[in-house]
Amino acid sequence: MALRLNPRIPRVKLPRPPFPYSAPPVPLGLEGPPTTPRSGPDYDTDWARRLPARLARATLRSTLMRAGVAALAAPEVHGLDRLEAWRAGAGDGPVIFVANHHSHIDTPVLLTRIPEPWCDRLFVGGAADYFFRNPVTSALSALAIGAIPIERSRVSRRTADQAAELIEQGWSLLIFPEGGRSPDGWGRPFQRGAAYLAFRCQVPVVPVYLQGTGRILRKGKKRPTPATAKVDFGTPLVPEEGEDTHRFNARIERTVAELADETATDWWSARRRAHAGTTPSLTGPDAPSWRRAWALGDPSRRKRRDRRPWPDL
């Protein structure tokens, strides 16, 4: 007869410390003082942009985060010269980094690879319903990656106002306009938030293409698998005369697709396809899921180790 090893332990409720060592109760019929939300879309992240938090974030970024990214993704970075050229002409003003999104590791990869001076004053648009779902994740997201909550389920003026205010204060934004990680390895159409902010704040958008991060930690995967990632920074884009947010957004998406083509082939082939209007789209073929998966190849393929023949001769 098996012994039962988990007898129920009675739960002991510790007495609550008396006021003033704990919050006072609110008398019935009265309203308590206004509370600051500790999570969710209204979470206040101002504290995470003050000096102590910035120093902590910079330390984290240059130590643990960088080591982790190097171990898991070892990213190859291309296109920094485009940013350098832009900076030489236009200066160090804020920009909006717009990237495709495959994995949770996309953010650390970019945070450790975006060059100075932008990496020092950078905030990230994080999904309010994911990164800010409870007080712990909210504080961690704000501190570690400098996230602000972005509502994905509805259009929020507050989110846009907050992002615009920060950009006007000289902060750069990193945003994934697909609205979430790719569910199947292909991209999703870009939402217009980045284009809207670029118009509103008159700042350039830096298109970025990330390749290979889906293999490391795709959506639904729990454990990361080391693989090589590539980051390709494009030439900063500014809204052209007569362009609205819709068209500008389409141009941003097209440019990221061209960067994807450039990463998959080479710059010259990609430019020729771009001018011929035959750049492969980020969203993949409009076909049943198996064909989309087929067209993607086998990104989850791992390097197989050479197995020794048995018995060992």
Partner 1 sequence: MPRPGFVLDVDRSTPPILFHHGEGFRLEKLPPGRSRVVYPGEPLEPLEDVDGAIRHALDNPLGDTQPLRTLLQPGMKLTICFDDISLPLPPMRRPDIRQRVIEAVLDLAAEAGVDDVHIIAALALHRRMTEGELRHAVGDRVYDAFAPIGALYNHDAEDPDNLTFIGTTPQGEEVEINKRAADSDLVVYVNINLVSMDGGHKSTATGLASYRSLRHHHNVQTMLHSRSFMDRHHSELHHSNWRMGKVLRDAGVNIFQIESTLNNNTFGSSGPMAVLQKREWEWSARDRATFVAMKAGLDRLPLKARRSIFQAWRAPYGVTSVQAGEVDAVHEQTVANVYRQQLVTVEGQADVVTMGLPYLCPYNVNSVMNPILVACVGLGYFFNYYRGKPLVREGGVVIMGHPTTWEFHPVHHPSYIDFFEQVLADTTDPAEIEARYEKAYAEDEWYRHLYRTSYAYHGVHPFYMWYWICHGLDHAGKVIVVGGETRAVRRLGFTAASTLDDALEMAEDVVGRDPTVTHLHNPPLVMADVV
Residues that bind partner 1 (CB under 8 A): 78-82, 84-85, 88-90, 235, 262, 266-269, 271-272, 274-276
Nearest distance, CB of residue 93 and partner 1, angstroms: 13
Query: Based on CB atoms, which residue is closest to partner 1, 71 or 90?
Result: 90
Query: Based on CB atoms, which residue is closest to partner 1, 127 or 208?
Result: 208
CB atoms within 10 A of CB 105: 23
Nearest distance, CB of residue 75 and partner 1, angstroms: 15
Nearest distance, CB of residue 272 and partner 1, angstroms: 4
Reading the block at residue 129, the tokens are: 């319903």
Q: What would the DSSP string read from start to end of 73-137?
A: T--EEE-HHHHHHHHHHH-S---EEEE---BTTHHHHHHHHSPTTGGGSEEEEEEHHHHTSSHHH
Nearest distance, CB of residue 280 and partner 1, angstroms: 16
SS (H, E, C) 241-264: CCCCHHHHHHHHHHHHHHHHHHHH
Q: What are phi and psi of 125, to 5 degrees?
A: -80, 110
Query: Based on CB atoms, which residue is closest to partner 1, 138 or 263?
Result: 263
Nearest distance, CB of residue 84 and partner 1, angstroms: 6
Query: Based on CB atoms, which residue is closest to partner 1, 178 or 258?
Result: 258
CB atoms within 10 A of CB 50: 9
Query: Based on CB atoms, which residue is closest to partner 1, 81 or 168?
Result: 81
> In terms of residues, how long is the chain?
313
| Cα angle: 263, vertex 269, 270; to 5 degrees | 50
